[in-house]
Structure 1
Amino acid sequence: MFCTLLVMGDEVKRSYRPGKRAEKAAATQAAILAAAREQFTSRGYAATTVADIAGAAGVNVDTLYATVGRKPVLLLAVIDMTLADEDHPVVAEQRDYVRATLAAPTARLKLTTYATALGRVMPRVAPLFDALAQAALSDPDCAALRDSIGQRRRANMVKLAADLRSTGQVRDDLTDDEVADLLWTTNAPEYYVLTVARGWSPATYGERLADLWTRLLLAESS
């Protein structure tokens, strides 16, 4: 009986400790990314040091590097976290609003779902893209990251264009590449910033973006 209890105790430790370690690692990552987002947004990329972020997150610099990576990688992780509206980075295909957009039965509903989601996330993500754009002027790594994100956004819009086409409701005189280009340019953070300057609220931005897309991309009968 005593030996059995020892074995059971060992099994509990083996199954329990990895879970606790994973929880601690996730909490550390979340703290680092939250601190990085606040620092990048309020101070800008160039003025923010890795030590600043580590201090705000309550960790040392070595832990930050081991958990997330170098400063450009950190910014990308913050952007992916913010776009997903989560406390950790999420790739595009796994974001809730992307899944909802793809699952929507009509092209109009797909565009409305996506535009509404952008209205929620753009107020938080646009300042990060602005910080990246400013840093890209003097930092080659940031310039490469900016270009990479732009290409990734374009590739995602190609996928969305194909999904819209599958509904049979997209204008016949537009190619999928043209549909992707129109989506890509009008969902850019720079476009959102211009609408804010004109006094639009995030909700108004989302509503008018959906209206723009449906008028511009869909056949009249849709």
Structure 2
Amino acid sequence: MTNEVNARTRRYHSPRRKKQAAATRHAILTAARDLFVQQGYAATTIGEIARRADVVVDTVYATIGRKPALLREVVETAISGTDQSVPAQQRDYVLRLKQAGTATAKISIYAQALAEIQPRLAPVYVALRDAASADSECDALWTQISERRAANMRRFIADLAATGELRTDRPTDELADVVWSMNGPEYWVLLVGQRGWTPRQFAVWLTDAWSRLLLTTGHPRGPGSGP
């Protein structure tokens, strides 16, 4: 009888513990993100993150880890839009992109996804870039994420090539590098942050620009193709 009670108690408390753990993780990530963006990585301490998240320092370490691990998780979750990192090939927009039948549709899906991702990612990415200039672990993370993004762009170009619509007069790695340069958060900061573009304007511009630059069919015509 005692064993049955204990089993029921464990089943009862397990969901509550998971919910509490998820709430704690969310609070820590939110606090870290806000502080990294507001005052920079170097100026932010684990103690400040813990106080803002309303936890003790040991909870920060136990939940996520040291400050470099926190920055990594902040970047990864900014990309995924959740409190967990999601591999590129499992992201919703990547799955939809792969199912799209035309190159223009694939480009449009990706451009719209970027317009949704960049508002949360760009400030964090800039904080990581600044931290990389003075911290070796942040520099390694910056390089890793940059190279991963470049590899993902080569996959994106391969997806476009599979439609038969990709231009063939330029090397595919060169085309991937062009997309890599324009999907970077820095590009978003310049046009949306500094020039005041709307997210929709940014997505429409990328769709049009990439269609012109990458495809044999030129820029798209149809609903939503204009500013």
Same structural fold, with TM-score higher than 0.5 when normalized by the shorter chain: yes
1:161 to 154, 157, 162: 157
| 103-112 vs 11-20, greater mean Cα deviation | 11-20
**Distance apart, 1:8 and its partner CA:** 4.4
Instruction: Identify the residue that residue 174 of structure 1 maps to in structure 2.
Output: 170
Instruction: Identify the residue that residue 211 of structure 1 maps to in structure 2.
Output: 208
Instruction: Identify the residue that residue 89 of structure 2 maps to in structure 1.
Output: 93
| 193-202 vs 140-149, greater mean Cα deviation | 193-202
How many residues are treated as equivalent by the alignment?
218
**Distance apart, 1:90 and its partner CA:** 2.3
- What's the TM-score, normalizing by structure 2? 0.88
Q: Which has the higher contact order (CA 8 A, sep 6+)?
A: 1
Q: 1:122 touches 1:192 (CA, 8 Å); kept in 2?
A: yes
Instruction: Identify the residue that residue 32 of structure 1 maps to in structure 2.
Output: 28
Deviations for 1:87-141, whole angstroms, at most 9, x for unmatched residues?
A: 3332222222222222222211111111111112212211111111111121111
Residue 53 (1) aligns with residue 49 (2): yes
| 51-60 vs 169-178, greater mean Cα deviation | 169-178
Q: Which amino acid aligns with 1:154?
A: A
Instruction: Identify the residue that residue 144 of structure 1 maps to in structure 2.
Output: 140
Deviations for 1:24-71, whole angstroms, at most 9, x for unmatched residues?
A: 222211111111111112222122111111111111111111111111
The percentage of aligned residue pairs carrying the same residue is 46
2:127 to 128, 131, 138: 131
- What's the TM-score, normalizing by structure 1? 0.90
1:119 to 91, 106, 115: 115
Q: Which amino acid aligns with 1:220?
A: T
1:102 to 73, 98, 112: 98
Q: 1:80 touches 1:91 (CA, 8 Å); kept in 2?
A: no
Cα-Cα RMSD: 1.9
**Distance apart, 1:218 and its partner CA:** 1.1
Q: 1:120 touches 1:203 (CA, 8 Å); kept in 2?
A: no
| 169-178 vs 135-144, greater mean Cα deviation | 169-178
Q: Which amino acid aligns with 2:49?
A: I
2:179 to 178, 183, 192: 183
Q: 1:115 touches 1:207 (CA, 8 Å); kept in 2?
A: yes
Task: Name structure 2 gaps, 5 residues minimum.
Answer: 221-227
Deviations for 1:177-208, whole angstroms, at most 9, x for unmatched residues?
A: 12211111110111111213223122211110
Task: Describe the SS at the equivalent of 2:163.
Answer: coil
